[in-house]
Amino acid sequence: MSFNSRAPLVIPILIIVVGVGWLLTAQGFGAGINWVWTLGLGIIGILTFVLSKGFDKVSVVIGPFFLLASLLSVLRQTSQLSLEIEVPVLVIGIGALLLVAQLPAVPKPGWFVEPPPPAEGLSAPKKLRLDDAPGTPFGRGAAGGGGQEGSR
């Protein structure tokens, strides 16, 4: 399944997850847990791996971070974790994931394109002034002795 065939699935899946979360909250399942928020975070983490076609320098950061945020959200909403603990754990988590992404074994994403190396022998483009442009009334390329400053 190519990326183009997976991309249209994202919005319907997110809508279904929001609906399931809303229903779980309305039915009192896991009282006190906002399932829309929690499942939304989790599905974003999972979809990161699906849409990036696996494991790369982007998905290794974004996917696990959102899954961690979803787990910590459930723990905080069930009073097993305070906000003062949740936020530092998320900061530590994103830092650790950013370090993991720097490992050479983690591949670059498929959409990343290396810029081509600069060609040898080419210099920077020459800056032109309006007076240098051919075909302008006062340019050097103008008919009738171009470049006459006094006739402006």
Residue 142's pLDDT is what? 52
pLDDT at 122: 66
Q: For 110-124, what is each residue's pLDDT tens digit?
A: 888 777 777 776 666
How far apart are alpha carbons 16 and 22 in whole angstroms? 10
| pLDDT tens digits, 51-106 | 888 889 999 999 999 999 999 999 999 999 999 999 999 999 999 999 999 999 99
pTM listed for this prediction: 0.65
| Interatomic CA distance for residues 131 and 140, integer angstroms | 7
Task: State residue 4's pLDDT score.
Answer: 55
Helix (H) or strand (E) holding 86: helix 83-101
Whole-number Cα distances in Å, 59 to 53, 72, 112: 9, 19, 13
CA dihedral sign of residues 142, 148, 149, 152:
negative
The model's pLDDT over 8-58, given as tens digits with 9 standing for 90+, comes to: 877 888 888 888 888 888 888 877 888 888 988 999 998 888 888 888 999
C-alpha dihedral sign at 129, 135, 139, 140: positive
Model pLDDT for residues 122-134, shown as the tens digit of each residue = 666 667 676 666 6
